[in-house]
Amino acid sequence: MAADVHSLVAAYALDALDEGEEREFEDHLAECERCREELAGLREAAAALAFATPPTTPPPELQQRILEQARSERPNVVPLHRRRRWAATLAAAAAVAVAAAVVLGIWAGSLRNSKDPFESVLSKPGSKLVAMGRYGGVAVAPDGEAVLALAVPRTASDKTYEAWVIRGGKATPAGLFHGQRGASIVKVSKPVGAGSVVAVTVEPAGGSSQPTAKPLVASGPVS
Amino acid sequence: MGLVLEHPTVSGSAGGSTGRDLAHATDESLLSLVAGSDDDALAELYDRFGGVAYGLALRILRDESLAQDAVQEAFLAVWRTADRFLAERARPSTWILTIVHRRAVDLVRRQERRRGEPLEAAPEPASPERVDEEATLRFQRRVVQEALRRLPAEQRQALELGYYGGLTQSQLAEQLGQPLGTIKSRMFAGLTRLHELLSQAGLEESIPR
């Protein structure tokens, strides 16, 4: 049985255990470092499933209800109905070193045409969505048209984000933007050809002709 | 290339000294504020994740009023226990959505017990894509959907019926007419593979410190 308990970690991360199994697994979890580490990663994956379902705007009064109730309570006095044990220590995940472009998807051009430049690039047959770390990515069409979708905060007024297309060690300025709440959708002003890297740096206001800082985000070479 | 991606350290956002412009605060700092009973920070977290939370709860519960209950209970749990999160090293969105999922699943199982049978498996919602959905969310959704598509069909089915359907592994085995061991290994293999695919996509790195 003991060996079998490990195998419950995925079902536990998905909340797919019945109460008895859950208790059994939580007892095991308290003593098993390996399962705690594994659970941390699998929970991230399970929570990502929440993002695969279309978000829906809740009725506006729901926020009011939550805030009123929250204000009327002193925090941290009411325990959770069911205490969920979280891994006390999560393995620090290795930083992602970008060796080659991580292509998240290749679109067949089935998307409807749209005024949104990001969607419009993805609507071209054979376009790719390339990861740029945790901030988002860049959509690249076969003809080199590219649009960034990055969730980066607004820069200080004396700074700007600058996009670059880097090819053969040569960086070409490809647009300035300031960032905003949510995602910034930014057209890359230079074509992104095969073997190019798209990167973004923080530069003094007005931009630079060559990067003066280490890239904040970068794609791998686009194939 | 070997570029190490760093957290942006862009200073001087529009915040000013009042500290009430929370729009640029990180999720982590919002949770710290919530732990100190800051209800504006709770409102900001709700603005960020309320739509995803409600969409998820609605898919699991298929009832607007129950879905609202699940979201309300979950955000109040965030309010009451945010200090506990600080010791965790998970991403705030993971922590919050795990609580939302748990609440929704608890409610759906309570409903089933009342009715004496499991609800039918949750179908993919037919609602059209929302036009005003934020690009970040849209992007994340595409990435996760793409990763799901790459899983073998039976693994994807086990994850979807378990996560969105709120079924236990035993219920799932019964419903699909498969041995429990088969369902366990599909869930394990599917979720592990999904984690790998999402890690490769850089979408779920751990929190930069």
The counts of H helices and E strands in chain B are 8, 1
| Structural domain ending residue among the three candidates B119, B141, B173 | B119
Pick from B94, B132, B171, B176 the residue to mutate for testing the A interface (most A CBs within 10 Å): B94
Q: Which residues of A148-180 are buried (b: 16+ CB within 10 A; e: fewer)?
A: bbbbbbbbeeebbbbbbbbbeeebebbbbbbbe
Let me know if residue B100 belongs to a domain.
yes
> Greater confidence, A27 or A152?
A27
Determine the residue type at B187: M
Helix axes A33-50, B92-115, angle to 10 degrees: 80
Residue B49 lies in a domain: yes
Cβ-defined contact of B136 to A183 (cutoff 8 Å): yes
B96 and B148 in one domain?
no
> CA-based diameter of chain B, in Å?
61
| pLDDT > 70? residue A121 | yes
What is d(CA A15, CA B182) in angstroms, rounded to the nearest whole number? 18
Q: Which residues of B touch A129 (CB under 8 A)?
A: 139, 142-143
CA A97/CA A76 separation, integer angstroms: 39
Kindly state whether residues B151 and B88 are assigned to the same domain: no
Measured between alpha carbons, how far is B136 from B25 in angstroms, rounded to an integer?
16
pLDDT of B138-192, one tens digit each? 788 888 998 999 999 999 999 999 999 999 999 999 999 999 999 999 999 999 9
CATH label of the domain that carries residue B63: 1.10.1740.10
Phi-psi region of B116 (alpha: psi -120 to 50; beta: other; left: phi over 0): left
Cα angle, residue A140 at apex, residues A134 and A141 outer, rounded to 5°? 160
Q: Is the Cβ pair B169, A96 closer than 8 Å?
A: no
Judgement on whether residues B47 and B73 belong to the same structural domain of the protein: yes
Q: Is B133–A159 a contact, with Cβ atoms under 8 angstroms apart? A: no
Residue B15 forms part of a structural domain: no
B161 and B99 within one domain = no
Candidates A49, A38, A184, A2; CA nearest to B10 is A184
Q: How far is CA A155 from CA A101, A188, B20, B137, B145, in A?
A: 27, 18, 18, 21, 31
In a domain, B59, yes or no: yes
Which is nearest to B58 in space by CA: B146, B123, B134? Answer: B123
Q: Pick A70's closest partner by Cβ from B79, B83, B205.
A: B79
The better pLDDT of the pair A208, A118 is held by A208
Residue A85 has pLDDT above 70, yes or no: no
SS3 B204: coil
Is B120 in the A-facing interface, judged by CB distances under 8 Å? no
- What number is the average pLDDT over the span A13-21? 94
Task: Give residue B136's domain range.
Answer: 132-209
- Whether residues B160 and B190 share a domain: the answer is yes
User: Is this structure's pTM higher than 0.90?
Assistant: no
Chain A, window 162-191: residues with a beta carbon less than 8 angstroms from a chain B beta carbon? 179, 181-183, 185
Q: How many domains does chain B have?
A: 2
Domain spans, chain A = 2-72, 103-218
Neighbours of A27 (CB within 10 A): 12
Of B98, B119, B140, the domain-final residue:
B119
Q: Which of A134, A187, A198, A201 to mutate to test the interface with B (most CBs of B within 10 A)?
A: A134
Q: Are B54 and A49 contacting, i.e. CB atoms less than 8 angstroms apart?
A: no
Residue B113 covered by a domain: yes
User: Do both B158 and B83 map to the same domain?
Assistant: no
- In chain A, the percentage of residues whose pLDDT exceeds 70 is 78
- Residues B91, B65, single domain; the answer is yes
Q: Is the pLDDT of residue B14 over 80?
A: no
- Exposed/middle/buried for B65, CB within 10 Å: 0-12, 13-18, 19+? exposed
Distance from CA of B103 to the nearest CA of A (A): 10
Tell me phi and psi for residue B12, to 5 degrees.
75, 35
Nearest CA in chain A to B40: A67
| Mean of all residue pLDDT scores within chain B | 80
Q: Based on the domain organization, do B109 and B178 belong to the same domain?
A: no
- Residue A153 in contact with partner chain B when CB distance is under 8 A: yes
Categorize the per-residue pLDDT at B95 as very low, low, confident or very high, splitting at 50, 70 and 90.
very high
Q: Report yes or no on B9 lying in a domain.
A: no
Task: Please determine, for residue B89, whether its predicted confidence score (pLDDT) is greater than 80.
Answer: no
- Helix, strand and coil in chain A, % to nearest 5: 25, 25, 50
Q: In angstroms, what separates the C-alpha of B137 from chain A's closest C-alpha? A: 7
Under the banding of pLDDT at 50, 70 and 90, the label for residue B11 is: very low
Residue B3 lies in a domain: no
Please state, rounded to an integer, the average pLDDT across all residues of chain A.
Answer: 77
Specify whether the CB–CB gap between A221 and A195 falls below 8 A. yes
Q: What is the mean pLDDT of residues A99-110?
A: 46
Shared domain check, B46 and B110: yes
Boundary residue ending a domain (B63, B95, B119)? B119
Lowest mean pLDDT among A41-45, A108-112, B60-64, B114-118: A108-112
The CA distance from B151 to B117, in Å, is 29
CATH of the domain at B165: 1.10.10.10
Q: Is B51 on the interface with A (CB under 8 A)?
A: yes
Please check the confidence at residue B122 and state whether its pLDDT lies above 60.
no
For A168, the closest chain B residue by CA position comes to B1
Is the domain spanning A2-72 CATH 1.20.140? The answer is no
Neighbours of B182 (CB within 10 A): 14
Co-location of B146 and B173 in the same domain: yes
Identify all chain B residues contacting A136, using CB atoms and an 8 Å cutoff: 136, 139
Considering the domain boundaries, does residue B18 fall inside one? no
Residue A152 distance to chain B (closest CA, Å):
7
Distance from CA of B175 to the nearest CA of A (A): 14
**pLDDT, tens digit (0-9, with 9 covering 90-100), for B16-44:** 334 467 888 888 889 988 988 889 999 99
Range with top average pLDDT, A25-29, A96-100, B177-181: B177-181
ipTM of the complex: 0.82
Residues B83 and B136 in one domain: no
Predicted pLDDT at A194: 87
pLDDT of residue A78 exceeding 50: no
More confident residue, A155 or B208: A155
Q: What is the pLDDT of residue A213?
A: 82
Give yes or no for B94 touching A (CB within 8 A): yes
How many whole angstroms separate alpha carbon A87 and alpha carbon B65? 32
What Rg, from alpha-carbon coordinates, does chain B have?
19
